[in-house]
Amino acid sequence: MLLVVAALIVAFVLLLYMISPLISPKPLKLNGAHVVVTGGSSGIGKCIAIECYRQGAFITLVARDEAKLLQAKKDVEKYAINDKQVVLCISVDVSSDYSQVESVIKQAQEKLGPVDMLVNCAGSSISGKFEEVEVDRFKKLMEVNYLGSVYPTRAVITTMKERRMGRIMFVSSQAGQIGLFGYTAYSPSKFALRGLAESLQMEIKPYNIYVTVAYPPDTDTPGLAEENKTKPLETKLISETSGVCQPEQVAKIVVRDAVQGNFNSSVGPDGYMLSALTCGMSPVTSITEGLQQIITMGLFRTIALFYLGSFDSIVRRCMIQREQSKAADKRE
């Protein structure tokens, strides 16, 4: 009896693998493709641009500061693999006015052809206790991190649907999979990208367009250095759990996943566990991924409970320490 059940399971898994080419998209060829990277003048975005350029893509870098854009253009151009490749710079605020974003994307398409891959990486972060974050920051972060990804996507989607091809990447964060102390303004803006990505993917899959959501851990960039200046101790200690990555390493992984059309792109072992654990109703792009989620879910939830316990105790310890040092200050 047991043997029959085992044989049936094996047959079922084999069958799944036989139909797997039907659900896995064909990889995008980066050589000669036009890749638009918002936030491409710094940190992770710049490394993503370099990674695509090294594989022969034409690049449009989008950000606000023109001097930073020009410097980034020079940095990217060092990695050319042929003399036809072009790096275009566009200065625009992706979060403020849709018609402006639409018109610069149009210009970029006129110069370098239709967009094959859009990378939404422009973003910023603020950390601090809920009541200490200035109220207008909650709106600001939603604008930059969420609307700043909606607008460029909206500007490329019609052409992608007409061409029946394309890739769209949203750069979320591990803080877009788990809400953490200090990220009451930042996390929701990154969680929002997941809802957008899932809804959009269901609409555009029949048009052969694939969405990728990337969830990097802390990554060594100018953005992180800025954030660290005011980061609460609790947030630092909790984030240390999944370590600090180099932006080049993050770029390699997320570009590979976008090229393959994977919906989920995680970085590092903690990232892998977090993604399996929080997969919910998100689409799968390979049988292996689905099977891994089924098998690991219970185990990872068990591990997660220990992590949550340790995060709670970090928060409690920090609170007690603060109260003790306040009391000591008073006595002096």
Ligand X SMILES: CCCCCCCCCCCCCCCC(=O)[C@@H](N)CO
Ligand Y SMILES: NC(=O)C1=CN([C@@H]2O[C@H](COP(=O)(O)OP(=O)(O)OC[C@H]3O[C@@H](n4cnc5c(N)ncnc54)[C@H](OP(=O)(O)O)[C@@H]3O)[C@@H](O)[C@H]2O)C=CC1
What is the length of the chain? Answer: 332
Residue 219: how many other CB atoms lie within 10 Å = 21
Q: Is 112 or 238 the residue whose CB approaches ligand X more closely?
A: 238
What backbone torsions phi and psi does residue 36 show, to the nearest 5 degrees? Answer: -100, 125
Q: Does 63 bind ligand Y (CB under 6 A)?
A: yes
Given a contact cutoff of 8 angstroms between Cβ atoms, the answer to whether 285 and 24 are in contact is: yes
Residue from 183, 186, 210, 215 carrying the catalytic annotation: 186
42 phi, psi to nearest 5 deg:
-155, 160
Nearer of residues 173 and 260 to ligand Y, judged by Cβ: 173
Shortest reach from residue 188's CB to ligand Y, in Å: 13
Q: Using a CB cutoff of 8 Å and minimum separation of 24, what contacts does 4-11 make?
A: none
Mapping DSSP to helix (H, G, I), strand (E, B) and coil, where does residue 24 land? Answer: coil
Q: Contact with ligand Y (CB under 6 A): which of 57, 171, 185, 209?
A: 171
Chosen from ligand Y, ligand X, none, partner binding at 194 (C-beta under 5 to 8 Å by type): none
Size of the site for ligand X (CB under 6 A): 22
User: What is the footprint of ligand X within residues 71-130 (CB under 6 A)?
Assistant: 125
C-alpha distances (whole Å) from 129 to each of 126, 135, 163, 227 are 10, 12, 46, 14
Binding of ligand X at residue 178 (CB under 6 A)? yes
Our finding on whether 224 is near ligand X (CB under 6 A) is yes
Helix, strand, coil % over all residues of the chain, rounded to 5: 60, 15, 25
Cβ 41 to ligand Y, closest distance in Å?
A: 4
- Cα separations (Å) of 143 from 93, 173, 193, 328? 10, 16, 12, 42
Task: Please tell me whether residue 145 binds ligand X under the rule CB under 6 A.
Answer: no
Near ligand Y in 254-283, by CB under 6 A: none
Name the DSSP class of 166. E
Q: Per rule CB under 6 A, is residue 168 in the interface with ligand Y?
A: no
| 182 near ligand Y, rule: CB under 6 A | no
Binding site for ligand X (CB under 6 A): 125, 173-175, 178, 180, 217-218, 223-224, 227, 239, 241-242, 270, 273-274, 277, 300, 303-304, 307
